Amino acid sequence: MTSGPKLSFVYQASPSRVVFGAGSFVKAPEEIDRLGAKRALIITTPGRRKLGEELAARLGSKAAGIFDRAVMHVPVKTAEAGRAEAARLDADCYVAIGGGSATGLAKAIALVSGRPILCIPTTYSGSEMTPIWGLTEAGIKKNARDSRALPKTVIYDPALTLGMPEKLSATSGMNAVAHCVEALYAQDANPIISLIAEEGIRAMARGLPAVVKDPSNLEARSSALYGAWLGGVSLGGTTMALHHKLCHILGGAFDLPHSETHTVLLPHATAYNAAAAPEAMERIARALGAKSAAQGLYDLEVKMGTPLSLQSIGMKREGIEHAASLVIANPFYNSRPLSKEGIRALLEDAFAGRPPRSWSDA
């Protein structure tokens, strides 16, 4: 640990069991046994249906059914349909297989029933390691924490991520990096989560460009999935600041794609906070093997060919003023105080896809 002020912090461990390794997917039946469950409802997105069926075949009589209607941001109607199906099938556990959308739906169901979740993630969203649930109604997404939403067991099988397209891999991976970055300067940052977050960035920076170059590289996939796990722990172990709030605001107001929005904004939110969080910046830069945290993140994205501008992912220029107003109208903790001019300038940079600026007034 680097030197700093007197040690004083709260650390809350998240009690989940993690089974990691290529091929570990086959351990799902024994992990269901460990949970004491007998009738698993498999929850997935339409795109991962085939994988859900493979899992059902493997579970045999332990599979109660498949619910493949998970979509981004958990609409209330989808959650209600999932809860009804779980009750109809008398499911006693939920197996989410897929990205954050599948996990999100399983959480929405478990939140009401209190039944355990076994999660088998196939993207790098990190949701499987957090007690954070979300539900969307009339275009507004509500997020909160509840221990019933935290998966009891997570199986990380890098082999399941081999088919993830390069573009989704890169942006989903930057979503995990964003969890790590914000954990390092969180209001409730603590030495344990900071260790995890720094290692998460390091694992991603090592694995992700190699994944984009060769999506079938299992070693690189393993490193990236390990980074995603650590990103999820970082997200679950702290409360997030400017970057995540901005992503939430832009995603909700303009229906922008989730992981791409994280990717585009991350270097700019990092730059905005740089002068106010020097120790965090040092750790981020060190993990990236770069001189500057914000520029290092931007360079990593350039190298992987991810989207760099909000314009390229569907935002309109008029949205900048509206988004800056929303940030100021709903203030939250951030390392550096929020000003409307500052947020507007950050969004202008991100809109155009410019490299992150050096702020001199922080």
CA dist list (Å): 337 to 23, 103, 167, 179, 276: 47, 33, 34, 20, 9
Q: Which is nearer to ligand NAD, 45 or 78 (CB)?
A: 45
Q: Which is nearer to ligand NAD, 123 or 334 (CB)?
A: 123
Q: Which stretch binds ligand NAD (CB under 6 A): 5-13, 163-171, 309-317, 346-354?
A: 163-171
Q: Identify whether the C-beta of residue 313 lies closer than 8 Å to the C-beta of residue 257.
A: yes
Write out the DSSP string of 63-74: EEEEE----TT-
CA–CA distance, 165 with 267 (Å, rounded to integer)? 23
Closest distance to ligand NAD from the beta carbon of 79 (Å): 12
Is residue 99 near ligand NAD by the rule CB under 6 A?
Answer: yes
Q: Identify whether the C-beta of residue 146 lies closer than 8 Å to the C-beta of residue 125.
A: no
- The Cβ-side half-sphere exposure at 170, using a 13 Å CA radius, reads 23
Is residue 190 near ligand NAD by the rule CB under 6 A?
Answer: no
Q: Identify whether the C-beta of residue 270 lies closer than 8 Å to the C-beta of residue 181.
A: yes
CA dist list (Å): 121 to 128, 209, 297: 7, 20, 24
Cross-strand bridge partners of residue 93: 40
CA–CA distance, 92 with 63 (Å, rounded to integer)? 10
Q: Which is nearer to ligand NAD, 73 or 148 (CB)?
A: 73
Q: Which of 158, 154, 184 is nearest to 14 (CA)?
A: 154
Q: Which is nearer to ligand NAD, 235 or 294 (CB)?
A: 235
Is residue 235 near ligand NAD by the rule CB under 6 A?
Answer: yes
Using CB under 6 A, which of 116, 134, 267, 342 touches ligand NAD? 134
Is residue 238 near ligand NAD by the rule CB under 6 A?
Answer: no
Binding mask 242-261 for ligand NAD (x = CB under 6 A): ----------------xx--
Is residue 221 near ligand NAD by the rule CB under 6 A?
Answer: no
Is residue 104 near ligand NAD by the rule CB under 6 A?
Answer: yes
Is residue 132 near ligand NAD by the rule CB under 6 A?
Answer: yes
Using CB under 6 A, which of 52, 98, 151, 227 touches ligand NAD? 98
Chain residues 12-71 in contact with ligand NAD, contact rule CB under 6 A: 45, 47-48
Contacts with ligand NAD, residue ranges (CB under 6 A): 45, 47-48, 72-73, 98-102, 104, 122-123, 125-127, 130, 132, 134, 161, 163-164, 168, 172, 235, 258-259
